[in-house]
Amino acid sequence: MFISYLQILIPFIGLVIDASVQMLSFKTVARLGLLKSEYIGFVAGLFSIFLIEFYIISTTLIPLIDVIALLIANLITYSSLGYCYFSFVNLGETARRIRILRELYDSKEGLCMEKILERYNAKEIIEKRINRLVNNGQIIYKDGRYYIGSPVMLSMARIIVIMKLIIFGKRSEFG
């Protein structure tokens, strides 16, 4: 009976481990950066799910086919929760509306439109994003052009498109 309830909680346990490891690694390892800390947290949560499932297999008489089905369901659920956590963390870092609100809050005298536009120059924003992608190895600069570097983000983007197809029935929620 306890194992049945534990199966329901496994993806949430994985999410708690994901968030805890992500925050701990981000705060303690200065050179790590936000994105890498999120990867480490996600992998730690994933690893914990496998450990818990292994424990269940080794201590119960649940048929292997049921354990595999539960593992697949828990991995899908955990991946969805992990994606939501990833999006939530990055929302505060990348969303212009959130950043504008934070900057207005931090500026006791307020900001005029000219200052806001100065801070959010489109060329500067693209340069920062490109530099971040290059520094993370996600894209490379060669002979005056940019190319896909590490396929990790591309793979994540493809997974997101697949999830949108499953959930929304289309490649984008805006289409």
The Cα-based distances of 53 to 12, 18, 167, 173 in angstroms read: 14, 17, 26, 34
CA 80 – CA 158 distance, rounded (Å): 14
Percentage of the residues of the chain whose pLDDT score is greater than 70: 94
pLDDT score recorded for residue 12: 95
Is a pLDDT exceeding 70 seen at residue 1?
no
**Considering the entire predicted model, what is its pTM?**
0.62
Give per-residue pLDDT as tens, 83-117.
999 888 887 666 777 778 888 888 888 888 888 88
Domain limits, the chain: 2-97, 121-175
Whether the CB-CB separation of 104 and 113 falls below 8 Å is answered with no
Q: CB–CB of 83/160 below 8 Å?
A: yes
Give one DSSP letter per residue of 63-124, joined into a string: -HHHHHHHHHHHHHHHHHHHHHHHHHHHHHHH-HHHHHHHHHHH-TT---HHHHHHHT-HHH
pLDDT for position 14 = 95
* Residue 84: strand pairing partners: none
Dihedral angle over CA of 96, 155, 69, 166, nearest 10: 60
Alpha-carbon span 138 to 35, nearest angstrom: 11
Look at residue 52 and tell me whether its pLDDT is greater than 80: yes
Residue 7 has a CB neighbour count (10 Å cut-off) of 19
Residue range 145-170, pLDDT digits in tens: 998 887 777 787 788 788 778 877 77
